[in-house]
Amino acid sequence: MKNLRDYVYISQMESGITDLTDKIFVEDIKWKKHEWADSQGKLTNSDDIDVLYYNETFSDDKIYYEIFKHISQYGNTDYGKWARSSELEHMSDLRFNRYSVNTFMAEHIDHIRSLFDGKNKGIPILSIVGLLNDDFTGGEFMLCDEVIPLKKNSLLIWPSVFLYPHKVMPIKSGIRHSFVGWVW
C-alpha cells in the first residue's frame, strides 16, 4: 500500500442497525452538548453538535458486533489484524452525534488522550464513523481534504493518526445522525 487512501475502508452495515438505533431519533432523549479537549487537555463545551453516549441509551451489543465484523474485513493491514484479535474490550463506547442546520465538526485528528482514562490507557489506532441517515443536505464528511461519499448505513474506518485530518461540513437542511467510536 503506497497511498493514504489505501487505509480507508468504507462499507455498508446491515439495515437492522438503523432499526436498533431508531430510538436515538426520539426527541425526549437527553442529548448533551459536544465536549472536546483543547491542546492543554481542558474540556470545553461547544455550542455545536449534540451528543449521546451508547451506554446511556441502550445496551444491545449488536451494533458493536456489526462494527467488528467490518473491522475483520478491513484488509490485510496490521490495524485490521490487531483489531480483529481485540474484540469489544478495546473499543470505546459509541457516541451518537446529532447535527442540526448550520452545525458542523471542525477539522481535527483523533489523537484523543482523554478518551481512555482510568483502567484503559492509550490512544486510538482506528477511528470509526457510521452514518445513520441521509435525508439531509450538506454535512459531507471530509477526510484529508477529500469528500468521502457516505449514505445511510455507511461505515467508515481509518487510522487515528495525524495523517488523517477530517471534518464534517455544515448542515444546510435536515438533521444528520451518525455515530463515532475508536479502537485502541
- Angle among Cα 6, 11, 13 to the nearest 5 degrees reads 155
Superfamily holding 4-35+43-183? q2cbj1_9rhob like domain (2.60.120.620)
**Are the C-beta atoms of 124 and 183 separated by less than 8 Å?**
yes
3-state secondary structure of 130: strand
pLDDT band at 69, cuts 50/70/90?
confident
Residues, the chain: 184
Residue with cell 452538548: 33
- Using CA atoms, how far apart are residues 137 and 134, in angstroms rounded to an integer? 8
The mean pLDDT value for 158-175 works out to: 94
SS3 per residue for 23-61: HHHCCCCCCEEEEEECCCCCEEEEEEEEEEEHHHCCCCC
pLDDT of the residue at 85: 47
To the nearest 10°, report the CA torsion of 114, 117, 121, 126.
-50
Neighbours of 159 (CB within 10 A): 18
DSSP at 91: B
Question: Mean pLDDT of all residues in the chain?
Answer: 79
Domain ranges of the chain: 4-35+43-183
- Using CA atoms, how far apart are residues 106 and 115, in angstroms rounded to an integer? 18
The mean pLDDT value for 129-135 works out to: 92
pLDDT digits (tens, 9 = 90+) for 73-115: 765 555 545 454 445 567 888 888 999 999 999 899 887 766 6
What are the beta bridge partners of residue 91? 183
pLDDT digits (tens, 9 = 90+) for 5-53: 888 999 898 876 666 666 666 656 777 887 766 666 655 555 578 888 7
Give percent above pLDDT 90 in the chain.
34
Reference 94, options 30, 144, 51; nearest CA is: 51
Name the pairing type of β-strands 32-37 and 43-53.
antiparallel
- Using CA atoms, how far apart are residues 70 and 131, in angstroms rounded to an integer? 14
pLDDT of the residue at 4: 84
